[in-house]
Structures are given as C-alpha cells and as structure tokens.
Structure 1
Amino acid sequence: MTSGMPPSDSASRHARAVLPEGWPQPRGYANGMVAEGKVLVTGGLVGWDAKGVFAKGFVAQIGQTLANIKAVVEAGGGKVEDIVRLTWYVTDIAAYRNSLAELGPVYRANFGRHFPAMAVISVPALVEPEAMVEIEATAVLPS
C-alpha cells in the first residue's frame, strides 16, 4: 500500500510521492513517485552557466546545476514540481556528505520543498574535467 507525502513537500498537479506503509518518512527525497503525463528527460547537466563557465566550488556547482535543470524543465513547459527523479553523479562523495547542511538552502532556492526520487552515485571523473557534479532529471509534464 502507498500513501503520498503531504502536498507541501512533494506533489504536483499530476505526480505524487509514494511511501510503503510502515516505512520511515525519507528526508530530502522520495522513495518513489507516481506521475501521469508527458515525459521530459534531461541529459547530464553540470554546474556551468550559459557561457560554459563553471561555478567555483562544490556547493556552487550543485546550485548552478540545479538552476540549469530548472531552466530546461521550464523551457519544456514544466515546473520543478513536475520532476519525478534526479540522478546525481559526484566526483567526491566525502564533499557531498560534508556539504549536506550547505546544500539544503541551495537545493530549496531552486526546487523549494519538492523532493523527487533521487540517487547519488560516486564516480571517479566526469566528461567535463572541471565538473564536480552532473545531474540527470526526469520530469512528467501535464498531458
């Protein structure tokens, strides 16, 4: 059996988080999402601006990457609340773990209190040598 998260945390017009009965409430992500509509999939986006200049530092790159995801989803006619999945690839998992307190405000500045299903994967390197993080997003837009 599933139950959705409170609407203020992770719900849109056509997507909702699911949580198996008896499971603890996740913090900052959803275990699963149910959505209905058109699928928008981003490529792996990195922490550079429209001119290809990377933000300085791990947290700054994550902020820019999330802003880039938001821009792509909005260009496709969606909103951040339509995002149902994020897959993060980070080159320094210790930096990620040590930055959680700083990441919260950066995440909320871009996505508010919307927490889709997420995975964080440590990788040795990314295609762009300066990139410290790359994130893929899946959004389901209203039909």
Structure 2
Amino acid sequence: MTHRIVQPEGWLPAKGYANGVLTRDGTLHIGGQIGWDGDQRFVANDFVGQMRQALRNIADIVEAAGGQVSDVTRLTWFVTDKRDYLARQAEVGAAYREVFGKHFPAMSMVVVAGLVEDDALVEIEATAHLS
C-alpha cells in the first residue's frame, strides 16, 4: 500500500473524504478542518473559537499519524470574513499559539464566499512531513 488513512481514535468517520492520508515517504496530507469536534459538533460560533478547534483537529490528526505540530510544513486557510479575521488579530495570534506554539509553517489565506458546512467560518488544510 502506498498510503495509510489517518483517523483520530474516537472521531466520527469522515463522509466522502479522509481527515488524513499518510504516504509512504512520510508526507501527511490533512483535509480541510473546520471548527467542529470529533463528534462533528461546532464548539463555537465565532471565528477565533472555530479557528482554535480547526487547529486542534489538525494537531490531533498529526499526532494520530505519529507526529507533532512542529512537523506541519504548510497551512492553507479558507475564511468567510476577512474583516473579522483582521479585526481580531491579537485573539487569532493567542489562539494559534495555544495549539501551535511558536511554530509557523508556510501559510496561505483565501477569502471565500462560503464553506460546505453553513455554520463554518474557517476551514484549514495542512501538510506535514513525518520522519
């Protein structure tokens, strides 16, 4: 097999996608994570709360694959409200550091009209390299 599906223990199964795919060379591709928990329930209805949970989800997937957040090399953020993101930069930074510490991989941000889950305000996908 050239890859392994990564699913944190106790999470409801993903429907129609994989939360993580680990390739033989140690590259971990993490599907877009939103602000819901392993039971697929939103933990917050604000941008910062959802962002924190999405990052925690990424950390959980990396750890389930045997890595740690410092193995993350890329994050791509999809946000529905650029102004909310910009207005809350101090809170965004604090929430980011709660999960990722001072590890700052390559990042991109894309402003989108909406996400598949209507209540989602942010979706973050990631790539990690596990040795």
TM-score range, shorter chain: 0.7 to 0.9
Q: Gaps (5+ residues) in structure 2?
A: 1-24
SS of 2:41 mapped into structure 1: coil
Match of residue 80, structure 1, among 69, 90, 94: 69
Match of residue 67, structure 1, among 46, 53, 56: 56
TM-score (norm 2): 0.79
**Separation in 2 of the partners of 1:81 and 1:39?**
13
Identity %: 52
Q: Is it true that 1:102 corresponds to 2:102 in the alignment?
A: no
Q: Which has the larger radius of gyration?
A: 1
Contact 2:37/2:53 (<8 A) preserved:
yes
**Separation in 1 of the partners of 2:97 and 2:130?**
21
TM-score (norm 1): 0.72
Q: Give the corresponding residue for 2:109.
A: 120
Matches of residues 1-143 of structure 1 in structure 2 within 5 Å?
38-54=26-42, 55-142=44-131
What is the root-mean-square deviation in Å for CA atoms of aligned residues? 0.8
**Separation in 2 of the partners of 1:125 and 1:45?**
14
Q: Gaps (5+ residues) in structure 1?
A: 1-36
The count of corresponding residues between Structure 1 and Structure 2 is 106
Shift, 1:93, TM fit: 0.7
